[in-house]
Amino acid sequence: MMQKKLLLKVAFVDGLGVLDGQKPPCECNNCYTGKDCSVLLKDCPVDANSGDPLFLEPFWMRQAESSAVLVSGWHMMSYIYQDGTYVSRELEKVIRKLHSVVGNAVTDNRFVIFGSGTTQLLAAAVHALSLTNSSLSSPARLLTSIPYYSMYKDQAEFFNSAHLKFEGDASAWKQSGRNDNITQVIEVVTSPNNPDGKLKRAVLNGPNVKTVHDYAYYWYFTPITHPVDEDLSLFSLSKTTGHAGSRFGWGLVKDKAIYEKMDRYIRLTSMGVSKDTQLHVLELLKVVVGDGGNEIFNFGYGTLKKRWEILNKILSISTRFSIQTINPEYCNYFKKVRKFTPSYAWVKCERPEDTNCYEIFRAAKITGRNGNVFGSEERFVRLSLIRSQDDFDQLIDMLKKLVSEEAVGTDSI
């Protein structure tokens, strides 16, 4: 059982009860309670739904001093920096250096744009690209590949823009013959893909097709096969350092006109990204690039590799459940062939009668995410492997019980 410790009192000034003069309480992991977080709640369902990358907490606990930020009350009060922009140029430099040392993206001849996570950047990118040919009477079609990250569909339908319509699967669109080289098309390519972790490429091409590449997971979750060299690429701090709550992401944009439209979208919707956030991110990334990314890459890959080994051992004896398999590839960062260690297990229920895999797991007190959320069949469920060690240990315990019900022999589990 891992318990969060009070490394720096200032880090918990927003904890419950602090404003009432009480001592900051321990922040317990899911299913644990008590003054010292040592009491395991009975029949507590495992959270395997959230993509919170809490598995990186131990890494940052070891970096507590070097990553800490103390901001005086008078500091950074203006909306803008001294150069009149909303962007920290020092942070931009560190981001370019990060990609250089990791070798996962080309930053030369690219504009760097900041946003409140890739969520805002995706909205900005789709908005900018949907306006590139506003003379067309019909809206641009937004497409992606099944299984896809649900945010793409959710955003398009929520904003309900006259310039954009979510159309669904790119392969189905291509096979239908509707790709007439006239209708404006925007394809979102997620690589590695969420939920199955596979490296993806664009399905569509042509003069009417624009592509947004979501590379949020192109770090230690996958072999770094090459530095991506795309017109528009998006990255997320949450899957780089694990700081999902900081709500920070960035994009690399080749076309100046598209960059300016995205920048205008960011300025009009949030007047840029919080300067406090940018300072925090700067300090975090300075820690990462300080040793060429070596420590966080080894920690991230090592932790996930162990988790996948444990998961594979359990499910290898199951005939009821199967998970995605991806062949190892050469990683330019580690200079060797390595396995994929995705953030999520994409589980399929193989029995004909198990038509809703999510409900099968929910009944076993494992809360995943239904396959239909990703445009796929309900026969699939996504299980998060990147939460805390407590969460993972509980997930494994519940999986052992579920697989043992198949009566195929539990001694080897």
Q: Does 204 reside within a domain? A: yes
Residues 125 and 215 in one domain: yes
Query: Tens digit of pLDDT for each residue in 62-101?
Result: 999 999 998 899 999 999 999 999 999 999 999 999 999 9
Question: What's the CA gap between 308 and 196, in Å, rounded?
Answer: 13
Query: Which of 290, 325, 348 is the last residue in one of the domains?
Result: 290
Residues 184 and 240 in one domain: yes
Residues 286 and 308 in one domain: no
Q: What CATH number is associated with residue 363? A: 3.90.1150.10
Residues 259 and 314 in one domain: no
Radius of gyration of the chain (CA): 22
Residues 25 and 168 in one domain: no
Q: Which of 161, 74, 154, 77 is nearest to 374 (CA)?
A: 154
Query: Tens digit of pLDDT for each residue in 306-327?
Result: 999 999 999 999 999 999 999 9
Query: Which of 290, 318, 347 is the last residue in one of the domains?
Result: 290
Q: Does 216 reside within a domain? A: yes
> Do 254 and 110 contact (CB within 8 A), yes or no?
yes
Say if pTM beats, i.e. exceeds, 0.85. Answer: yes
**Domain range for residue 372?**
9-64+293-404
Q: Does 41 reside within a domain? A: yes
Q: Does 82 reside within a domain? A: no
Q: Does 115 reside within a domain? A: yes
pLDDT (mean) for 119-138? 86
Residues 146 and 180 in one domain: yes
Question: Residue 169: its pLDDT value, please?
Answer: 96
pLDDT (mean) for 25-37? 81
**In this structure, what token pair is assigned to residue 270?**
């949030």
Residues 203 and 308 in one domain: no
Q: What CATH number is associated with residue 176? A: 3.40.640.10
Question: Residue 32: its pLDDT value, please?
Answer: 85
Q: Which of 145, 163, 152 is nearest to 123 (CA)?
A: 152
pLDDT beyond 50 at 140: yes
pLDDT beyond 50 at 4: no
Confidence category of residue 3, pLDDT binned at 50, 70, 90: very low
Q: Does 139 reside within a domain? A: yes
User: Could you tell me which residue, 293 or 7, shows the higher pLDDT?
Assistant: 293
Q: Does 56 reside within a domain? A: yes
pLDDT (mean) for 402-412? 69
pLDDT beyond 60 at 411: no
Residues 135 and 258 in one domain: yes
Residues 149 and 251 in one domain: yes
Question: What's the CA gap between 273 and 102, in Å, rounded?
Answer: 25
Q: Does 78 reside within a domain? A: no
Query: Which of 241, 257, 290 is the last residue in one of the domains?
Result: 290
Provide the domain count of the chain: 2
Residues 135 and 268 in one domain: yes
Residues 286 and 309 in one domain: no
> Do 252 and 128 contact (CB within 8 A), yes or no?
no
Residues 228 and 161 in one domain: yes
Tell me the percentage of the chain whose pLDDT exceeds 90. 83
pLDDT (mean) for 140-169? 95
